[in-house]
Structure 1
Amino acid sequence: MSSVKETVDVAAPLRIAYNQWTQFEEFPLFMEGVDEVRQLDDRHNHWTTSIGGVRREFDTEIVDQLPDDRITWRSVAGDTRQRGSVRFERIDETHTRVELTMDVEPTGIAEKGADALGVIDRRVKGDLSRFKDYLESRGHESGGWRGRIRPADPGSPL
C-alpha cells in the first residue's frame, strides 16, 4: 500500500469546512478523476473514477465519523483498495486545517508506475487545494450531515 498525507488551511470556520466535506456527491466538483459519488446511505458511497484512461467503480464504508473532527473510511467492494481519514482542526474563528491521510493499493502496471512517480501524492494535494478554492469561493457550505458513526467493536470484524 502507498500512503499519502496532505494538509491544507481553509479560510472557513471549522463547522463550515466539515459540513462541506460531508457533501460527498459534490466531490467531482473539486476532485480530479472522480466522475461520480453516490451516497447510498449514511455509511456507504459508490464511486466512479476515471484516472489515466482507467475507469473504476468501488464502494466505501465510513467506519468512524465525529462531527467537526474526523471522517474515516475504507473500500469494501469493487476494484479499488483504499482506506483513509480526513481530520479537521480549528485554527481560529475563521480558519480550519484539513488533513487527509490515505492508504491506496495501486493495481495494474500503469497505476503502480504512476504511484512510483508521485502522481497519487500530487493528485491528493491538488484535490485539497481545489476543495479550499471551492469552499472559499462559495463562502458557505452547500449542506452538512452532523450524524455520528461509531467504529465497530475492537473484537468484531470491520
Structure 2
Amino acid sequence: MNQAVRISNQNTIWGMEDELSVLTFNLNGETFAIEATVVQEILDLLPETHVPGSKPFVSSVINFRGKVIPLADIRLAFGMEVSEATIDSRIIVIELELDHSGEPALIGIRTDRVYEVTTLARSASEPPPSVGMRWRADYIDCLVKRGGEFVIVPNLNAIFASQGDRQAVANG
C-alpha cells in the first residue's frame, strides 16, 4: 500500500509532464527542490515574532506583504538539527492548499541557501527506498538523480498535514 501511495504522489507531482520546474535549496547540506509553481517569493531573513505555546516546527510568524504568515522549519520534520541563520539563509514563501476548503495558505520555509530555478527530469526520478532511509518515506515525493547527487523533492502536503495532526493531538 505504501508503494502505491508513493507512486500516486510521484504521479501527482509530475502530472503528465516529463520535466518539472523547481526551486532548489539547501537544508543542512542536503539539496531539496520544491515545485516552482508554489513559490511566491524568496526573501532575505525578516524579523520573526515568536508565538507562545507553539510547536518548534512552526514557532514564529512573519509579516509578508501585510499578512501574518507562519514560518516553518521543515528540518524538524526530517529530524535534522536546527542551525543558526547565516548570510546565505533565506525564506521561501510558498502557497499550499492544506485542507479541502480550497483556500490556499501562505507559509514561509526557512532554508540555509537558495540555489536556482531549474528543471528535473522525470526519467531521473525514483520513489524513496522503503529500507535504509533516515527520513519518513511519506515525507518525500521522490529522489531525482542530478549530476553526482540526489535532489530530494519533499511532499510538503504530507509534512504540513502530519505536523497539523500532531498539534491537534497535543492541543486536544
TM over 0.5: no
Higher relative contact order (CA 8 A, sep 6+): 1
TM-score by length of 2: 0.28
